[in-house]
Amino acid sequence: MEDGEQKAKSRRQGAGGIRPYVPCLLLCVFCSLLFFNGCTSVSKGEIVLAVVDGEPVTGEDLRYSLNIAHRREDLSSAGGLDLLEYVKKLVDERLIVQEARRIGMDTYPEVRKAVDAFVLRESVVRLHDEEIAQKVSVTEEELMDYYKKNYERFTLGIIETASEEEIKEISERLKKGQEFESLAGEYSQHPSEQKGGQITITRGSMPEDFEHTVSSLKKGEISEVVNKRNRYHIVKLIDREEAPEGQFAGIKGSIRKSIRKQRENERSDACLKVLRKRANIKIDQELLSSIELNKPNGGREYLLKDERPLVEVDGDALTVRDFVLLAKPSGMMSHETLIDNWINRKLVDREALGRHYEQRDELKKMINRYEDQLLKETFIRRVILPQIAVNDEMLREYYEKHKDEFLGPEYFRLQQITVGSKEEAEKILEALEQGADFTWIAKQKSIDSLASKGGDTGWVLRRDIPEPLRKTVDLFMTGDISPAMEAGSSSRILKLAGKKGGEVREFSAVREDVFRACFNDQFKTALKEYINRLKEETRIQVNEEKVRKFEEELEKQI
CA distance 462 to 92: 37
Res 63: pLDDT: 86
Model confidence over 509-535: pLDDT tens digits?
999 999 999 999 999 999 999 999 999
pLDDT for 515: 96
Q: Per CATH, which fold does 152-242 belong to?
A: Chitinase A; domain 3 (3.10.50)
What CATH number does domain 409-501 carry, 3.40.640.10, 3.40.1260.10, 3.10.50.40, 3.40.50.1000? Answer: 3.10.50.40
**Of 271, 287, 281, nearest in space to 335 by CA:** 287
Other beta carbons within 10 angstroms of residue 207's beta carbon come to 13
CA–CA gap between residue 63 and residue 33 (Å, rounded):
18
Residue 24, pLDDT score: 38
Asked if 66 and 558 count as a contact pair (C-beta separation under 8 A), the reply is no
pLDDT value of position 8:
60
CATH of domain 1-135+363-390+504-558: 1.10.4030
Name 126's Cβ contacts closer than 8 Å, sequence gap at least 6. 352, 355, 357, 363
Spell out, as residue ranges, where the chain has pLDDT lower than 50: 1, 4, 7, 9, 11-41, 71-79
Encode pLDDT of 434-447 as tens digits.
889 999 999 999 99
- What is the reported pLDDT for 42? 57
Sheet holding 316-319, edge to edge: 281-283, 309-313, 316-319
What letter represents residue 427's amino acid?
K
Question: Percent helix, strand, coil in the chain (nearest 5)?
Answer: 60, 15, 25
From the list 91, 58, 124, 90, the residue with the least C-alpha distance to 365 is 58
- Whether 34 contacts 96, CB under 8 Å: yes
Query: Tens digit of pLDDT for each residue in 209-246?
Result: 788 889 899 999 999 998 888 889 999 999 999 999 88
Check: CB of residue 523 under 8 Å from CB of residue 388: yes
Q: Where does CATH 1.10.4030 sit in the chain? A: 1-135+363-390+504-558
Residues of the chain with CATH 3.10.50.40: 152-242, 409-501
In whole angstroms, give the CA distance from residue 451 to residue 443. 5
pTM over 0.85: no
- Residue 35 is predicted with a pLDDT of 35
Among 148, 236, 130, which residue's Cα sits nearest to residue 192? 236
Cα 130 to Cα 363: distance, rounded to the nearest angstrom? 14
pLDDT value for 97: 97
